[in-house]
Amino acid sequence: MSLFVALSLIASVTYGTSDFFGGLAARRLNVLHATAGTYVAGTVVVGVGLLVIGGEWTMDATALGALAGVLAIIGFVTFYAALAIGPMSLLSPAIALVGAVVPVGVAAATGARLDVLAWGAIAAAVLATVLISVPSSRTRERVTPRGAILALIAGLGLGLSIVAIDATDATSGLVPAFVEMVTGVFVLAVLLAVIRLTRSRLGAARLGLLAIFEPPPAASRQRSSARQAWVNAAVAGVLLGLSNALIVLALHEGNLAIVSVLVSLYPLATVVLAALVLKERLTLVQVAGIVLAILACIALAS
């Protein structure tokens, strides 16, 4: 198995697990607070990785890392907002699908050289993500228009952030990943300040679009549940930092289309955890999608 394929698959698992814990945190906390907690923990992890692995600080690496940071934070904030609305097992794969199609489209448009088997495996992986997203006809959970819009924005932001990171030079190491995380923390701090100022001057009723980041009802925010939510956010951050570092290393080693598609399989972890912990049911179609995803991974690994 190629090194970048292995890195991508590990990143996919850690990414999906991070999303699960991040979604749990967003259900109990303000979405921005949950995302901020996740990003701070993730920044620490990537910072430690940068000290160990290193990387060359260049203008391109810094600029592209900052651009990826802005795009990623848009993606993550809307991602957690969508997961907080739920259902997690449907929205997470939908976001992954959009996030995979964008880099694959860019790779194809820029002349990525892959054989027929590789492109076939990529198509199979994308189809697998679609199948994983198909809900049961018996389930009462449905994707709301608000959740769908947030999912679309999340997928575009996350997909474009991978494209930006892929444009960095391999000698930059983990510098782009670190700059991306730091940029995210800065943007979140600004958003939190704007919301606090808006609330104090205009009142909560006039937050407008910012209201999607308001905390859930007080009944769901008891002290004990809030403490657990912060723990979930921290766990999500550690896993996010690890996955971001692995994604950057995989992109520097391999092909944008293959890496992005393999990473986009992260809903497998999210869906399985949602089924085990939240008792969200897996359908036969979703199981078929999981099997197809595994076969696609085997084909790409070969």
Q: How far apart are CA 283 and CA 47, in angstroms?
A: 40
Per-residue pLDDT, 40 = 94
Decide if pLDDT at 45 tops 60: yes
Decide if pLDDT at 219 tops 50: no
Question: Is the pLDDT higher at 229 or at 273?
Answer: 229
Q: How far apart are CA 167 and CA 125, in angstroms?
A: 23
Question: Is the pLDDT higher at 87 or at 232?
Answer: 232
Across the range 123-139, mean pLDDT stands at: 70
Distances from the Cα of 1 to the Cα of 7, 81, 201, 298, 301, angstroms: 10, 36, 57, 9, 5
Per-residue pLDDT, 217 = 47
Q: How far apart are CA 239 and CA 237, in angstroms?
A: 5
pLDDT digits (tens, 9 = 90+) for 103-119: 888 888 887 777 788 88
For 202, half-sphere exposure in the C-beta direction (CA atoms, 13 angstrom radius) is 12
pLDDT digits (tens, 9 = 90+) for 250-291: 999 988 888 888 888 877 776 777 777 767 677 788 788 888
Q: How far apart are CA 71 and CA 184, in angstroms?
A: 9
Question: Is the pLDDT higher at 197 or at 213?
Answer: 197
Name the percent of the chain lying above pLDDT 90.
Answer: 30
Distances from the Cα of 191 to the Cα of 28, 35, 195, angstroms: 19, 11, 6
pTM of structure: 0.81
Using left for φ > 0, alpha for ψ between -120 and 50, and beta otherwise, residue 113 falls in beta
Per-residue pLDDT, 293 = 80
Cβ neighbours for 59, distance < 8 A, ≥ 6 positions apart: none
Residue ranges per domain, the chain? 3-301
State the average pLDDT for the chain.
81
